[in-house]
């Protein structure tokens, strides 16, 4: 059989299976690419929240990136939770050595996971500085939600006009493209994701669903863009496909435990419910 495109996620593990590495891998599979991992942290979490984070040594994170890239190859890579400034520095160095990012040929999607689903900071100021100064200049695309925009730029987005201001501010950190997601702009009837290349905006508008279960939505969107880039789509086409993918995955979200359940790409597997029955 033909080997599918290979994608790499550099992120933390979610023991509840809703987000992080687990969400990335199931999205990669649903998109028809082969997923590989460099795990940055092991979290102790369930549907109710995170009760512990145990980071992986930075040199081990870097080694995971290098060992798969030099043997298996990587057509596109993404980041998720990076936990510490030291891990961010290690990731930047490893990506440079294997050609991931703007200094190489492999597209690099940076999902700057720095806020919880409740808007609470997940990274120290030092780690936020490392994101801005070390990873953003290497990124093909950065994909912050509005809480992450606030932490990274100080801009409190309350309107679509402020989304544009935020995109311009984020672009100053050096990424080729910026995608400011509008899912947290609750007062806006439209769910606008705004793509910016430093000079022009492209709008992706979709319906706003009244659902509680949205855990892993950011991971799923970024993983879908990464899959599209690995398959050779240009950035606009990859983001357009990802917007459609996440809309359907939100519609198919399901409850889990006593808290917030995950968005689901199971709609891509039409026989999943009846297989083995």
Pick 115 or 10 by higher pLDDT: 10
- Residue 123, pLDDT above cutoff 90: no
pLDDT tens-digit series, residues 147-206:
999 999 999 999 889 999 999 999 999 999 999 998 777 677 788 999 999 999 999 998
pLDDT at 5: 98
7 has a pLDDT exceeding 60:
yes
Would you tell me the crossing angle of helices 58-71 and 85-98 to the nearest 10 degrees?
A: 20
pLDDT band at 119 (very low <50, low <70, confident <90, very high): low
Here the contacts of 238-243 (C-beta below 8 Å, separation 24 or greater) are: 239/141, 239/179, 239/193, 239/195, 239/202, 239/204, 240/204, 243/193, 243/204, 243/206
Domain boundaries, the chain: 6-264
**How does strand 201-207 pair with strand 49-55?**
unpaired
What would the mean pLDDT of 13-24 be, rounded to a whole number? 96
Quick one: which of 34, 33, 31, 11 has its CA closest to 22?
11
The better pLDDT of the pair 232, 208 is held by 232
Query: Which of 152, 233, 241 has the alpha carbon at shortest distance from 204?
Result: 241
For residues 64-83, average pLDDT: 97
Predicted confidence band at 116 (pLDDT cuts at 50, 70, 90)?
low
The pTM (predicted TM-score) of the whole model is 0.95
Tokens 């987000």, residue located:
19
Sheet holding 76-79, edge to edge: 49-55, 34-46, 6-14, 76-79, 108-110, 141-142, 177-180, 190-196, 201-207
CATH of 6-264, one of 3.90.226.10, 3.40.1190.20, 3.10.270.10, 3.30.70.20: 3.40.1190.20
DSSP letter for each residue of 163-223: HHHHHHHHHTT--SEEEE--TT-TT-SEEEEEEE-SS-EEEEEEE----S--BTHHHHHHH
Q: Which of 183-187, 194-198, 237-241, 258-262 has the lowest mean pLDDT?
A: 183-187
Mean pLDDT, the chain, whole residue set: 93
């Amino acid at each position: 059989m033909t080997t599918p495109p290979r994608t790499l996620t550099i992120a933390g593990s979610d023991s509840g299976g809703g987000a992080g590495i687990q969400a990335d891998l199931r999205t990669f599979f649903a998109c028809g690419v082969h997923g590989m991992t460099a795990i940055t942290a092991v979290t102790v979490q369930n549907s109710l929240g995170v009760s512990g984070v145990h980071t992986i040594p930075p040199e081990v994170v870097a080694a995971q990136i290098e060992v798969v890239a030099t043997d298996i190859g990587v057509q596109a890579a993404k980041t998720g939770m990076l936990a510490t400034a030291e891990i961010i520095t290690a990731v930047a160095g490893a990506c440079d050595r294997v050609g991931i990012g703007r200094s190489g040929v492999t597209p690099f999607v940076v999902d700057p996971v720095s806020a919880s689903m409740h808007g609470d900071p997940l990274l120290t100021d030092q780690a936020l500085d490392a994101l801005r100064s070390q990873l953003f200049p290497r990124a093909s695309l950065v994909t912050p939600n509005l809480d992450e925009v606030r932490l990274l730029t100080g801009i409190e987005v309350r309107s679509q006009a402020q989304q544009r201001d935020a995109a311009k501010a984020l672009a100053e950190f050096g990424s080729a493209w910026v995608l400011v997601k509008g899912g947290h702009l609750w007062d806006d009837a439209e769910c606008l994701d705004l793509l910016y290349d430093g000079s022009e905006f492209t709008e992706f508008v979709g319906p706003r669903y009244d659902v509680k279960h949205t855990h892993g939505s950011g991971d799923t969107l970024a993983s879908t863009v990464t899959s599209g880039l690995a398959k050779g789509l240009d950035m606009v086409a990859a983001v357009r496909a990802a917007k459609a993918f996440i809309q359907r995955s939100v519609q198919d979200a399901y409850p889990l435990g006593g808290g917030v359940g995950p968005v689901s790409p199971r709609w891509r597997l039409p026989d999943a419910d009846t297989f083995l029955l």
